[in-house]
Structure 1
């Protein structure tokens, strides 16, 4: 009987098993897999809602209070105006602003000062920062001012202690020569600027007389009221409007214009 040889594998099976896929086909398969994964991510991102924007930061505005019994017992051409008080929400300090005169009217002096009260009121920024801040806030019916330049610094004795001063040229619709000032004691600060009439710069006595004439009697703030009541004048200025002589215009005497820049 003839024996039929046994065939375990198909011819060419070893060759097919050992042959890798063509490089081009492998690259095509990898590219297709990458494309499919990218499409899946894109579809998932498009289906998900966009992230919510963070809510806008809340802006804390100063609390507006009534008008403080702040006054200036000194004669002058223009009436004294006191703005409603404000409490800074960041510091809790109260600020009351007093103003007299119109910056655009060069025949009369101009005064703008702020009384700041509360714990830490004496810790203030520099005089230039305070002056720029006061100038930038428009007076009633006026325009914001800017500090064109500053000059020499000095110190003036006042009833509230030594006031730091600086010569300054302020500019708005017109340009005027002024003196910026600040004086502070624990819980109390007074800062602002005083401008002379007819192109003159106020002198030290004018500033001292202006602060001598400042009065506060606030039943809601006995500490500040006591500080005003016990502050003694350091100059020979009149204490009341009735004592004001005819030779002065407001708080600034008329004098020869200073030619110093």
Structure 2
């Protein structure tokens, strides 16, 4: 009897009695787990963590003002902005400006001198002029480029410059001459607006670039390029105008005299 009782007791935890009691519990636990899984599936998943971008070096470094000047006479003062160095390319950009875009009666100049290895590799003229217009000068509003018409090439002291008639809009709308010229290690781009809303003539652009001067002991390469270009002036003295081989003056095409009787 005692042995039998011991055997029955040993059978308890794994016997039929425990199984009969534990089965409902296991069913309940399993149902709870299924319910929790269903609820979790319906809940919106948490967004994946967005890695923080390391923006160190992505913003151009602002440096001192370059010894860039314009020797061309004019009423409005010449403004040279602090230089900017692109951290990706190492190219330095210095911006020079004169005149207010909203002063329709006066000319407006805004140009950038980019120097360094690879400066001659640049996007198209449309992109350059749009970028120059959007980067407002101090005290000015950003401009937008709405239209551009290619006008060919004009000779300058730095070599041939691609030019185009550009329609810029801001406080008012003006027709200007966009330009870009480049040689190894140097690029000059921007726009020049003539008074009263007309596009600047190619000769006026050549004379403006002829008056551009730069001499920096810390950048002997760029300084040498400017010195070499001094002997290649493309600006004609007053009273010695010659025929425009392209048949255009600014944005106005010259009419050829009729040879018919």
Normalising TM by the smaller chain, what interval?
A: 0.7 to 0.9
How many pairs does the alignment contain? 215
Q: Aligned in 2, Cα 1:237/1:85: closer, same or farther, shift over 3 Å?
A: farther
Partner of 2:201: 203
Give TM-score scaled by structure 2 length: 0.74
Using CA pairs under 8 Å that are at least 6 residues apart, name the structure with larger relative contact order, 1 or 2.
Answer: 1
Q: Aligned equivalents of 1:110 and 1:51: distance in 2?
A: 51
Instruction: Say whether 1:235 aligns with 2:234.
Output: yes
CA deviation map 1:121-148 (0-9, x unaligned)? 1000000000100001111211110112
Point out where structure 1 has 5 or more consecutive residues left out of the alignment: 1-30, 239-243, 246-254
1:174/1:51 CA distance change after superposition, 3 Å:
closer
Q: Return the alpha-carbon distance in structure 1 between the equivalents of residues 172 and 60 of structure 2.
A: 31
User: Does structure 2 conserve the Cα–Cα contact (< 8 Å) formed by 1:84 and 1:96?
Assistant: yes
Contact 2:105 2:196 in 1 (8 A): yes
Give 3-state SS (helix, strand or coil) of 1:193's partner: strand
- Please identify the structure whose Cα radius of gyration is greater: 1
In structure 2, the partner of 1:91 is 89
- The structure-2 alpha-carbon separation of the partners of 1:207 and 1:257, relative to structure 1 and needing over 3 Å to count, comes to closer
The question of whether the paired residues in 2 share the 8 Å contact of 1:106 and 1:198 is answered with yes
Correspondence 1:188 to 2:191:
no
In the TM superposition, residue 58 of structure 1 has moved relative to its aligned partner by: 2.5
Q: TM-score, normalised by structure 1?
A: 0.74
- Measured in 2, the distance between the counterparts of 1:128 and 1:256 equals 18
2:144·2:169 contact (CA, 8 Å) conserved in 1? yes
- 1:38 counterpart = 2:29: no
* 1:61 counterpart (36, 59, 79): 59
Contact 2:157/2:233 (<8 A) preserved:
yes
Instruction: Determine the structure 1 residue equivalent to 2:20.
Output: none
Match of 1:116, SS?
strand
Query: What is the match of residue 217 of structure 2?
Result: 219
Aligned partner of 1:104 in structure 2 is: 102
Question: 1:96: how far off?
Answer: 0.2
SS in structure 2 opposite 1:53? coil
Backbone CA RMSD of aligned residues: 3.1
Aligned residue in 2 for 1:148: 146
Distance in structure 2 (CA, Å) of the matches to 1:257 and 1:217: 34
- Deviation string, structure 1 residues 144-191 (Cα, Å, up to 9, x no partner): 101121123310111111100110111101111101000001111000
Q: Is the 8 A contact 2:167 2:174 kept in 1?
A: yes
CA contact (8 A) 1:157 1:234 kept: no
